[in-house]
Structure 1
Amino acid sequence: MTVEKPNIKNNNELHKAVSAGSLSLCSVGSDAVDLLPDVGFNIVGSSNEGTIDSTGTNRENEPLLSRDDIQPLNHISVFSRGIFTLPVVTIVDGSLLNEINIKNPIYSDDPQFAKLIQDTETAIENGIFPERISQGSSGSYFCKNPEGRIIGVFKPKNEEPYGHLNPKWTKWMHKLCCPCCFGRSCLIPNQGYLSEAGAYLVDSRFQLNVVPKTKIVKLVSETFHYSRLDRQKSKTKTAISNQFPKVGRRFHRLGLKPKVGSFQTFVDGYKDAEYWLKRFESEPPPPVVQTEFQIQFERLVALDYIIRNTDRGNDNWLIKYCSGDGKPSINANGSEMTEVTEWPGNESPKIKIAAIDNGLAFPFKHPDSWRAYPYYWAWLPQAKIPFSSDIRQHLLPLVSDQSFIDDVVDDLKVLFEMDKGFDSHLFERQMSVMRGQILNLKQALMDGKSPVQLVQMHSVTLER
């Protein structure tokens, strides 16, 4: 098919032709024209709000990007994307303003976390890209600061175990070879990032302090897994922008599309629980260490039970042991700093648990009996010890307060509504399961039961 090119003498005429729609991008000389989306721009003073493309369609209907995120600043339309600042392109009275940034207010109450995201963005701009983690069945990435130190773990939504851009082939083979057992029927698909952030929210509300800080962010990096189409789009638009700057300025976005996902702060000095559990078995620690560990263990049990975690093995929770001088016995790279031949007796050691990998929690129904997804900590000797007075005094006032539980549910709803596929009916079913779990936990604490007796209680669903 031959495309007839209009008679254009200079860039100004080219600019007018593209604006009027009389010139398609096919005639610009690119072979990958069909990969180009509509060009979005915004004229200040127009009655339209948000970013409107050439067909009149609002293109702002994306996760974490609602109309409330569109804020005027000195008569300049600025778009706030995710929880970090991002260059935007805005046309004001026919003139172009590029790279206008404002501070996103979502995490303004948490400057420490906002600084982590800012450091991650700065590192990416300086060529220090997130590094994909080889373990696991999904795309997750170690994020670094400008000095190259790991500061967080980012898990994009579309690279989750059942996401369409998961770079790991194991789940693809699972779906291909055994489709009848693919996925977890009790979980809402592709909401692992919400589950990660939701676990931290529950942990912080119940003051358990075992989940590293986790929140929803948007990040973009060339090391993330994008489709060939998305990468070609980015290259084509960049090439057109370089060749025809005035045309390029009208693009809704240059570069790859930011990915929404969970960002969890990285914890130093921790090692897989499996390592320390074997150590405890061969070298029983002194009573002070055992007591400290039991308190931490019970907090992990309470968290997993409340959110009904369907994926808690001994390889996805961590333990850090610090000697009396406060120094961890494990380096950040996981190697042992010093060979400890015996446990300290007179000092006051500290032991801490970190509950990571919480992306397969908050089911909308209890798991089926044939795929029960048990808690693997239930087979540990610590699970046979009745709940201590410490955890009972801490949790009983909270799990007995219905208004407190309702507040937690409301907070979770605000979080889960960030996903554009939010379903209020399914959310209420998720909360019905959680309320039933809290009711069982309350009864177990009142009766002085042990964690293993807790998981043996009948499943309860409690509707509001």
Structure 2
Amino acid sequence: MSAVEVALSPVHESAFGLYRSRSESIVIYVAVAGSVIPMYVLESGSVKSVKLKIEKNCKGLLSKKQKLVYGDKNVSKRSCFGTDGILLQPVIVNPNVKIPRVIWDMLSLVSDGLKKCKKPIRASEGMGGAYFMQHPSGNKYVGVFKPMDEEPMAVNNPQGLPLSKNGEGLKKGTKVGEGALREVAAYILDHPLSGPRGIKNELESGFAGVPPTVMVKCLSSEFNHPRGYDGGVENIKVGSLQMFVKNCGSCEDMGPRDFPVEEVHKITVFDIRTANADRHAGNILMNREEGRIALIPIDHGYCLPENFKDCTFDWLYWPQAREPYSPEVLDYINTLDAEQDIALLSSYGWDLSLECARTFRISTMLLKKGAAKGLSPFAIGQIMCRETVDKESMIEKIVQKAHDSIVKGMNEAVFLKTVSNIMDTELENICF
């Protein structure tokens, strides 16, 4: 074998067992000029990183002159080495929480696509890094990956946005790097009609139709790596992976006149409940099913904020929002339980801050009280959203009144009870 032809032979599991260090390394054999040199490489390592390591350990073997052979295949020009060149794993904090089968299926397809070198494709729109993850066939998308470190104003944002000076995100009451958590939380909180998702209803769609979403860690040279990429552990990205949903565009592409009332209402329930700070027509996808329009809400990186300052609901201006909720929707709203949901998010590994939890409790309270009084989504949304940037919304004024009326040192339960009492009074006098 010539000095520039390097055969890579991984240790056979049946013969020696597969050695893995704590950093997930494996042993390969490098055959060079009649000698066999054992070498440890990362299981997630790329072809480039393997060649650089060979160059470092074998003098004279420049990476650009190496020819790597895996089995009987030349992999020198590939971006991934065998099936170990790309890493995709779900981030599981609590092993007792079961991941729905629909998510496992998505993970499997995305992983297979990466192993076949179907590269992630960066989305051209948006202010953060978002990547379409390809099907193994390469002819369609399976998911959308959003790395935490590429969010707007984050350290590796690919759009050239300035770094946040105080950690606050683009929307007031959010923090840079928490967008992925909120994306996953949106799916967890979007309960099916039958109740919080579990083994018996894991295949049911959520009430609002938030696509299945999970936190993952992933490795690819296609992500934004300003400090360079060598396929090492430091290049692994953590972020949200959301199932790609078939669609024919977003609600920006057509007027709302033909949207079914029930499709609009399901999104209003979700947005009010989570105090969504970024609901515009561009992050509601449309699909036609048997001639009927279905709406799919996406992009929930700014839901569950710490305050109500930036609540934004484009559907406020749609005629469907002025229609009253149906009995079915009212029944669903009646089942919502903020305390149960806060505990549910905690079981998945995200303990809401005191401020986020408070906002979530109050928004759920408003939704339930307003719906029970027969208020339309428009009426409830008007309470939550500011008329102008500098004019506080009614819900902000209610919260401030509660602050002003309680005695210092009173606990959260007393504060929320005070908010509830003031809210009852305000709702009695409301007229939209």
The answer to whether the superposition gives a TM-score over 0.5 is yes
Residues 1:88 and 2:79 are matched in the alignment: no
**C-alpha distance in structure 1 between counterparts of 2:328 and 2:381, whole Å:** 20
The aligned counterpart of 1:156 is: 147
The aligned counterpart of 1:410 is: 343
Residues 1:130 and 2:120 are matched in the alignment: yes
* Partner-residue secondary structure (3-state), 1:309: coil
**C-alpha distance in structure 2 between counterparts of 1:412 and 1:180, whole Å:** 22
Residues 1:294 and 2:261 are matched in the alignment: yes
Residues 1:449 and 2:375 are matched in the alignment: yes
Q: TM-score, normalised by structure 2?
A: 0.63
Residues 1:374 and 2:335 are matched in the alignment: no
Listed one character per residue, the Cα deviations across residues 337-360 of structure 1 (whole Å, up to 9, x for unaligned) are xxxxxxxxxxxx433211001111
**Deviation (angstroms), 1:452:** 1.2
**Deviation (angstroms), 1:198:** 0.6
Change (3 A) 1:182 1:449: closer
Change (3 A) 1:184 1:393: closer
Structure 2, unpaired ranges of 5+: 1-16, 29-37, 45-83, 198-205, 384-393, 403-411, 414-432
**C-alpha distance in structure 1 between counterparts of 2:185 and 2:252, whole Å:** 25
The aligned counterpart of 2:326 is: 388
Contact 2:171–2:277, Cα closer than 8 Å, also in 1 = no
Residues 1:116 and 2:106 are matched in the alignment: yes
* Partner-residue secondary structure (3-state), 2:282: coil
**C-alpha distance in structure 2 between counterparts of 1:450 and 1:108, whole Å:** 36
Contact 1:386–1:450, Cα closer than 8 Å, also in 2 = yes
**C-alpha distance in structure 2 between counterparts of 1:195 and 1:383, whole Å:** 25
**Deviation (angstroms), 1:307:** 1.0
**Deviation (angstroms), 1:295:** 1.0
Residue identity in the other structure for 1:308: A
**C-alpha distance in structure 1 between counterparts of 2:233 and 2:367, whole Å:** 49
Change (3 A) 1:270 1:427: farther
**C-alpha distance in structure 1 between counterparts of 2:252 and 2:102, whole Å:** 31
How many residue pairs align between the two structures? 306
The aligned counterpart of 1:429 is: 355
* Partner-residue secondary structure (3-state), 2:281: coil
- 189, 198, 201: which is aligned to 2:188? 201
Residue identity in the other structure for 2:329: I
Structure 1, unpaired ranges of 5+: 1-73, 82-86, 235-252, 324-348, 418-423
**Deviation (angstroms), 1:416:** 4.8
Residue identity in the other structure for 1:220: L
Q: TM-score, normalised by structure 1?
A: 0.59
- 159, 162, 165: which is aligned to 2:156? 165
**C-alpha distance in structure 2 between counterparts of 1:217 and 1:410, whole Å:** 22
1:237-256 to 2 correspondence within 5 Å?
A: 254=232
Residue identity in the other structure for 1:131: I
**Deviation (angstroms), 1:90:** 8.4
Task: Please list every run of at least 4 consecutive aligned residues from structure 1 whose deviation after the TM superposition is greater than 6 angstroms.
Answer: 74-78, 94-98, 100-105, 179-182
**Deviation (angstroms), 1:78:** 6.7
| CA root-mean-square deviation | 3.5
Which structure's relative contact order is higher, taking Cα pairs within 8 Å and 6+ residues apart? 1
Structure 1 vs Structure 2: percent identity of aligned residues? Answer: 23
1:148-297 to 2 correspondence within 5 Å?
A: 148=138, 149-169=140-160, 171-172=161-162, 183-204=170-191, 205=196, 207-228=206-227, 230-231=228-229, 234=230, 254=232, 257-277=235-255, 280=257, 293-297=260-264
Contact 1:276–1:319, Cα closer than 8 Å, also in 2 = no
The aligned counterpart of 1:55 is: none
Listed one character per residue, the Cα deviations across residues 273-315 of structure 1 (whole Å, up to 9, x for unaligned) are 122425x3xxxx5xxxx6xx11121110011111111011111
Change (3 A) 1:159 1:75: closer
**Deviation (angstroms), 1:208:** 1.2
**C-alpha distance in structure 1 between counterparts of 2:218 and 2:331, whole Å:** 41
Change (3 A) 1:305 1:198: same
**C-alpha distance in structure 2 between counterparts of 1:427 and 1:138, whole Å:** 24
Listed one character per residue, the Cα deviations across residues 172-209 of structure 1 (whole Å, up to 9, x for unaligned) are 3x979xx9997333112220000100111111339414
